[in-house]
Amino acid sequence: MDKEEQLIEELVKNTLYRMDESTRMINRSLDELTDEEIWQKPNASLASIANLILHLSGNISQYIISSLGETEDKRNRDGEFIAISGLTKIELLQTLNATVNTAKRVIFDATIDQFLKMRQVQGFSFSGVGVVLHAVEHYSYHTGQIAFWVKQLKNKDLGFYEGMDLNTKNNKA
């Protein structure tokens, strides 16, 4: 395996890990909420947690499944934010989990040419690597918003790293 292939393999491995981490944190966060709480909006300028989950599913579909996977773009971005009810917490999580699993398969199966190919997404020009970086960063960003909101609502630590010593120093390699 040459260096380029090793680099892509490492990118894919870490991308899938980061997506799994965000998915785990969102699932854990939503365990704390009712169906009604996920649709609450604290004010007109903020989206509900349900809207954020719809938005994440749409963004991951557009950037990874459609763009990197080279399939039709069927995203309705405005609809992600207009919705005010209709799906339960379980249905939203099933949608998100299915979208993430499909996106992970697209990333895992992508060729070096797909990672290097330039494409237009939402009016931006990205390579396949740029598409993946955007989607993972965007997923992480909104995961943090969801976790913050749940902590705000419940005044509770969500225990994402329970049982781990996060004060462990780096090893010198």
> According to the model, what pLDDT value does residue 137 have?
98
Enumerate residues 6+ apart whose C-beta is below 8 A from 17: none
Does the pLDDT of residue 67 top 80, yes or no?
yes
Nearest to 122 by CA among 163, 66, 81: 66
Walk me through the domains of the chain, giving residue ranges and CATH numbers. 3-154 (1.20.120.450)
CB 160 within 8 A of CB 147: yes
Lowest average pLDDT, out of 108-122, 131-145, 156-170, goes to 156-170
Nearest to 52 by CA among 131, 143, 158, 156: 143
> According to the model, what pLDDT value does residue 42 have?
83
As a whole number of angstroms, the distance between CA 146 and CA 52 comes to: 8
As a whole number of angstroms, the distance between CA 173 and CA 98 comes to: 38
Does the pLDDT of residue 166 top 80, yes or no?
yes
φ and ψ of 115, to 5 deg:
-70, -30
- How large a percentage of the chain has pLDDT more than 90? 83
CB burial of residue 9 (10 Å; 0-12, 13-18, 19+): exposed
> According to the model, what pLDDT value does residue 20 have?
98
> According to the model, what pLDDT value does residue 30 have?
97
Mind listing the pLDDT tens digit for each residue in 6-36?
999 999 999 999 999 999 999 999 999 999 9
Does the pLDDT of residue 71 top 80, yes or no?
yes
Does the pLDDT of residue 1 top 80, yes or no?
no
CB burial of residue 133 (10 Å; 0-12, 13-18, 19+): middle
> According to the model, what pLDDT value does residue 83 have?
87
Q: Which residue has the tokens 């870490």?
A: 14
Mind listing the pLDDT tens digit for each residue in 74-132?
999 989 998 888 899 999 999 999 999 999 999 999 999 999 999 999 999 999 999 99
Does the pLDDT of residue 173 top 80, yes or no?
no
